Amino acid sequence: MRVVYARTQFCFDLKAGGSVGHTLGVLSGFKKNGCSLKVISNEPFIGIDEFENSIIWPKMKKPNWVGEFFYNLYASHKVKKEILGFKPDFIYHRYTGYTFFVAKLAKELNIPLILEFNSFDTWKIKHWIKSKNFLKHAFHQCVNYEIVKHIEGYNLQTTGLIVVVSQALKDDLINMGIAEDKILFVPNGIDPDVFNPEAADNEKTRKDLNIENNKLIVGFSGTFGPWHGIPQLTEAIDIILGERLISNIHFLIMGEGQLWKQMARKLSKYRDITFTGIIPYSEIQDYLAVCEILVSPHNPPVDGKEFFGSPTKLFEYMSMGKGIVASNLGQIGQVLKDNQNAILVASGDVTGLVEGILRLAEDEGLRERLGKNAREDVIANYTWKNNVERVIDRLKML
């Protein structure tokens, strides 16, 4: 099959994070399923050189919502030319809130469209976008919200197949009137060859990080927002190191974000913690491999909404074959099974998080058993190749 992959998100120069892993994963999945690919993107993102591609540069980038909205007006005819030249069997679009021209072109050219829908941008505007300026805040909450609401609705109604990463997202779409047979739930995944603990040089990574060989490393990778459990993780580390509950432990904190400074400031008094900053996607495997324990202490959304995420790090952790301590929340608690391939704790439970980390730190056999089971589970059920195969099979049924 011939596939056009359209990337229109106005987040540029990304080297790490869930969207990077998901994009490269889906592309590799199409490739491993024997598809011919043409990537049409607004920037040459990491990994794009492995595929036939065409870059249609934006004329303006900031503010990003303005840049993306006006991108519809001048990129459309160039993308249409690329589509007509490639003659795809379908178009796959990683949807973002201000893009409508891809759906419009697919309808005009009568080419099936698969919409990858990772979250509601209307929800993000209501709960993520904050401004101390009253006029800016009111503009986003009223005018911007209505614009995105109409674009979001147009995309969801126009597409032939909507791919979501969680059952919670699928349920939300059904509740707003989208036909169930139009929605395919496919969680995130991994490439087990990329996230392979056997391929890492742990001795070199330890040396580069300047962490003593006798230290057992507990790692966290991600963005530093409250929904990633950063407040609880900070408190748990403070308890473990401050009360000296175990002597041979070292925390490796990978990434940056909203709460990074706050966390680093509170824990700066300890020597057994390393903040790496952002680790490029091409290198994160080595940093995960050097850890004996990996943590994923997620929290539910701030408005009490059901957890709708499918954390890419969850599957990366599993593929690295490590002992995992994670929140029993949404999809995390469905993919991971307590005492089978991970230790699960209640979301927001600092005491449980501390106890889970200490339990794995003190029991090497348990770490190895859970890690082995986790890698076997993720390879059997959550590879990008298998995920994309499900998408292709469903498309054939339309």
What DSSP letter does each residue of 113-144 carry, written as one string?
EEEEE-S-HHHHHHHT---SSHHHHHHIIIII
- The CA–CA distances, whole Å, from 211 to 88, 272, 338, 357 equal 50, 9, 30, 19
Residue 179 has pLDDT above 90, yes or no: yes
CB 329 within 8 A of CB 308: no
Nearest Cα residue to 184 out of 120, 115, 121: 115
Of residues 257 and 111, the one with the higher pLDDT is 111
Residue 276 has pLDDT above 90, yes or no: yes
Residue 126 has pLDDT above 80, yes or no: no
- Of the pLDDT bands very low, low, confident and very high (cuts 50, 70, 90), residue 272 is very high
Residue 254 has pLDDT above 90, yes or no: yes
pLDDT mean over 191-212: 91
Question: What pLDDT was estimated at residue 127?
Answer: 63
Q: Strand, coil or helix: what is 212?
A: coil
- The CA–CA distances, whole Å, from 141 to 130, 153, 268, 307, 367 equal 9, 17, 38, 22, 47
Question: What pLDDT was estimated at residue 395?
Answer: 85
Give per-residue burial for 311-345: e unless 16+ CB within 10 Å, then b. Answer: bbbbbbbbbbbbbbbbbbbbbbbebbeeeebbbbb
Question: What pLDDT was estimated at residue 287?
Answer: 96
Question: What pLDDT was estimated at residue 137?
Answer: 62
Return the structure tokens found at 274: 């390393």
Residue 154 has pLDDT above 80, yes or no: yes
pLDDT mean over 357-380: 97
Question: What pLDDT was estimated at residue 296?
Answer: 95
Residue given tokens 């300047």 in the structure block: 210
Return the structure tokens found at 110: 């009568």
Residue 316 has pLDDT above 90, yes or no: yes
Residue 138 has pLDDT above 90, yes or no: no
Those residues whose C-beta lies under 8 Å from the C-beta of residue 98, and which sit 6 or more positions away, are 10, 65, 68, 69, 71, 72, 121, 147, 148, 151
Residue 40 has pLDDT above 70, yes or no: yes
- Of the pLDDT bands very low, low, confident and very high (cuts 50, 70, 90), residue 231 is very high
Q: In what order do the strands lie in the sheet with 2-7?
A: 52-55, 36-41, 2-7, 90-94, 113-117, 161-164, 183-185
Residue given tokens 């499900």 in the structure block: 390
- Of the pLDDT bands very low, low, confident and very high (cuts 50, 70, 90), residue 303 is low
Question: What pLDDT was estimated at residue 134?
Answer: 65
- Of the pLDDT bands very low, low, confident and very high (cuts 50, 70, 90), residue 55 is very high
Q: Which DSSP category does 43 fall into?
A: S
String of DSSP letters for 50-90: GSEEEE---S--SSHHHHHHHHHHHHHHHHHHHHHHH--SE
Residue 323 has pLDDT above 90, yes or no: yes
The residue ranges of DSSP E strands in 205-337, in sequence order, are 216-221, 249-254, 273-277, 293-296, 323-327
The rounded mean pLDDT for the chain is 91
pLDDT mean over 26-52: 95
Q: Which DSSP category does 17 fall into?
A: S
Give per-residue burial for 48-64: e unless 16+ CB within 10 Å, then b. Answer: beebebbebebeebeeb
Percent of the chain with pLDDT over 70: 95
Question: What pLDDT was estimated at residue 121?
Answer: 81
String of DSSP letters for 360-393: HHT-HHHHHHHHHHHHHHHHHH-BHHHHHHHHHH
- The CA–CA distances, whole Å, from 368 to 195, 292, 361, 365, 374 equal 17, 9, 11, 5, 10
Those residues whose C-beta lies under 8 Å from the C-beta of residue 165, and which sit 6 or more positions away, are 118, 185, 186, 187, 188, 309, 310, 331
Rounded distance, CA 48 to CA 57, Å?
14
Rounded distance, CA 219 to CA 290, Å?
9
CB 60 within 8 A of CB 88: no
94: part of which helix (H) or strand (E)?
A: strand 90-94
pLDDT mean over 154-158: 94
Question: What pLDDT was estimated at residue 376?
Answer: 97
**Complete domains list, the chain, with CATH:** 2-189+383-397 (3.40.50.2000), 197-381 (3.40.50.2000)
Q: Strand, coil or helix: what is 282?
A: coil
Residue 279 has pLDDT above 80, yes or no: yes
- Of the pLDDT bands very low, low, confident and very high (cuts 50, 70, 90), residue 131 is low
Those residues whose C-beta lies under 8 Å from the C-beta of residue 169, and which sit 6 or more positions away, are 117, 118, 119, 185, 308
